[in-house]
Structure 1
Amino acid sequence: MNAHRCLGRLGGAAAAALLGLAFALPARAAGQESAAPYPCAGVTAWRMAHPDDTYQAMVRRDAARTLSDPELRAELDERFTRDQDARIAWMARRWDRQLGRAVTLSDRNNLRWLRELVAGKGFPTAAQVGEVGVNRAWLLMQHMDDDPQFQASLLPTLEQRFADHELSGDDLARFTDRILKAQGKPQRYGTQFSPEEMGGEHFGLPDEASVREVEAHRRDLGVMPLADYACMMRVARIGHP
């Protein structure tokens, strides 16, 4: 993936990873009760009301599993770490072409590997690699913008992972919208916009009617309201709501 395209389309995937995959709220160390609260009150309330949707809950569920393909999980962990190391370095110095090329090379390498994986074993399951492993495979797929047809071909599979409680609604929403955006179609869940767009009156959507339609889709999927999601993404990308 071209680094300049990556900058424009990094969006929810990178922010998700930087926030601990499942947008876990910052933990407070002992004695830090007076620390400033997370600036998006709606996000805090949503996470408190949905504790099973957190990254920590995924880790706990995985701890009770016996993974059938621990080698694949280890490979996903390594590729996820390299992906994030490259992106975090580049996001800190976006003018650095060498760091941008490192992101591009990482994506191309992962694309070749994912194609072979899916052709040979299929997209990972929680039984094979745990929910965290499925999430990491999803994150790598989010960055496969050089092959939108490959991404789109996996949407039914990811919908099934969601139905099987192996992939979060947040992840499915972002993946779905990424595919729709690549196809020049309206987004269904309103996840793929810049921080500036998300700070606008309609969160990057054309009008209020579009906002209501997206909100209905988000409710059906069981993910947080659009205003809270937009607040969270702005904090992730620019440091404030």
Structure 2
Amino acid sequence: MSDPAMRMLALIVSAFLLTAATPPVPDVLKPYIKGDRFDPGDYKWMKGRFPDATPEEKAQSEQLKSWLNACFDSDQVERRAELLALNVADPKLNGMDFRDGLCAQVASAPSAELWPNFAAFQRSVQMATPLADTYLMAVKVAQQVGAASSPKMADLLKARVIGDQMLRFGVGWGSGEMSMAPAVSADVKAIIEARLSLALAVEDRSNTEWLKRIVREQGWPKRSEVGEGAAGKAWLLVQHADADPTFQLTSLRLMEPLVSSGEVSKGDYAYLYDRVMLKITGKQRYGTQAMCLDGKRVVQPLEDAKAVDRLRGEAGLQPLANYLNGMNTSFGECPTSSSAHHQ
């Protein structure tokens, strides 16, 4: 791209970012925020979402909703501008989450639809909070016990994924890897999962920023440098950096020339390719990304459905039907719901 074109693109990006400012945090949330961390506390900030709310509480809820919408729109503008700067002509930005950490934490609150009123909701909160807090404490202990024993990159990478994995398992409370969790009602489960999702939002963004610094300073971690296991952990962290598709795409481009030399796993590259391209183009190549639809786990849109098993084989992946069956075993059967849930 020529220098004048680059300067013009830079001006466009700057203009996008200037218009993407998130509005001030609503007053109803301020008592629950310390720095960049959000603690749902007594959940009174949610009262306006329930049928028995006062007009003032409903107005606060509408203000909060508008703030979250503005936050998401700001995130999208920023992401779009960054991808344009990477020569992505028309990024679709499908299935995106909040990029802003604070907004992501607030947005992880449970839906109010499961409860008839705020009092019933609080009773569920009282039952769910001890279970969620105990699990979160276990995550912290596991992170401390599994902390890197040396400054070697391999050790640092292996330690980084402990919280990532424990929190992701926890969000599936009662099914798959978490089938041994204490049985609870659907309303209590919703609150447990919301509290763990909040912690996961913090963990993902912390891991993303850490890995971005490593990649910026040292390049993509190669198998020959950190070992196969640790290289896979680096991939896992970028795979879960969904709020930052720019970093995911940059990492994908760094990984691509390393696949042929064996420095990057073909399978890892395939998974990240699908994750990124679903956001950018709306289609994937290898069928690694699935969703629950009408109670059944199905693959998300493909570039070429007829070629998918051949492409999966070339990447060292099992046939698609076997893969989807394995997901049912690991994550549990899809809920019998008509809504789509991406995975």
Distance 1:95 1:142 in 2: 26
On the 8 A contact 2:223/2:263 being kept in 1, the answer is yes
On the 8 A contact 1:198/1:234 being kept in 2, the answer is no
- Counterpart selection for 1:109 from 193, 197, 206: 206
The amino acid across from 2:205 in the alignment is R
The amino acid across from 1:215 in the alignment is D
Distance 1:197 1:73 in 2: 42
On the 8 A contact 2:278/2:284 being kept in 1, the answer is yes
Partner of 2:286: 189
Partner of 1:225: 319
What SS does the corresponding residue of 1:194 show, helix, strand or coil?
strand
- Counterpart selection for 2:171 from 68, 86, 90: 90
Matches within 5 A, 1:32-181: 71-92=152-173, 93=189, 95-96=191-192, 97-181=194-278
On the 8 A contact 2:288/2:299 being kept in 1, the answer is no
Partner of 2:71: none
The amino acid across from 1:88 in the alignment is F
Could you tell me how far 1:239 is from its partner in structure 2?
A: 5.8
Could you tell me how far 1:198 is from its partner in structure 2?
A: 10
What SS does the corresponding residue of 1:95 show, helix, strand or coil?
helix
Q: Which has the larger radius of gyration?
A: 2
Once the two structures are superposed, residues 13-72 of structure 1 have per-residue CA deviations (whole angstroms, 9 ceiling, x without a partner) of xxxxxxxxxxxxxxxxxxxxxxxxxxxxxxxxxxxxxxxxxxxxxxxxxxxxxxxx9611
> Higher strand fraction: Structure 1 or Structure 2?
2
Once the two structures are superposed, residues 179-236 of structure 1 have per-residue CA deviations (whole angstroms, 9 ceiling, x without a partner) of 0111133110111111448956xx43669x9421222322333422111112212221
The amino acid across from 1:225 in the alignment is P
On the 8 A contact 1:197/1:204 being kept in 2, the answer is no
Could you tell me how far 1:137 is from its partner in structure 2?
A: 0.4
Distance 1:219 1:71 in 2: 34
Structure 1 gaps of 5+ residues are: 6-68
What SS does the corresponding residue of 1:154 show, helix, strand or coil?
helix
On the 8 A contact 2:283/2:301 being kept in 1, the answer is no
The amino acid across from 1:168 in the alignment is S
Distance 1:220 1:127 in 2: 22
Distance 1:224 1:123 in 2: 26
Could you tell me how far 1:178 is from its partner in structure 2?
A: 0.3
Matched positions, count? 174
Partner of 1:30: none
Distance 2:264 2:294 in 1: 27
Partner of 2:308: 214
On the 8 A contact 1:174/1:189 being kept in 2, the answer is yes
Query: Considering only aligned residues, what root-mean-square deviation do their CA atoms show, in Å?
Result: 2.9
Distance 1:117 1:177 in 2: 23
Larger RCO, structure (CA 8 Å, separation 6 or more): 1
Distance 1:193 1:120 in 2: 34
**Change beyond 3 A, Cα 1:206–1:178:** closer
Structure 2 gaps of 5+ residues are: 1-98, 109-149, 174-188, 335-343
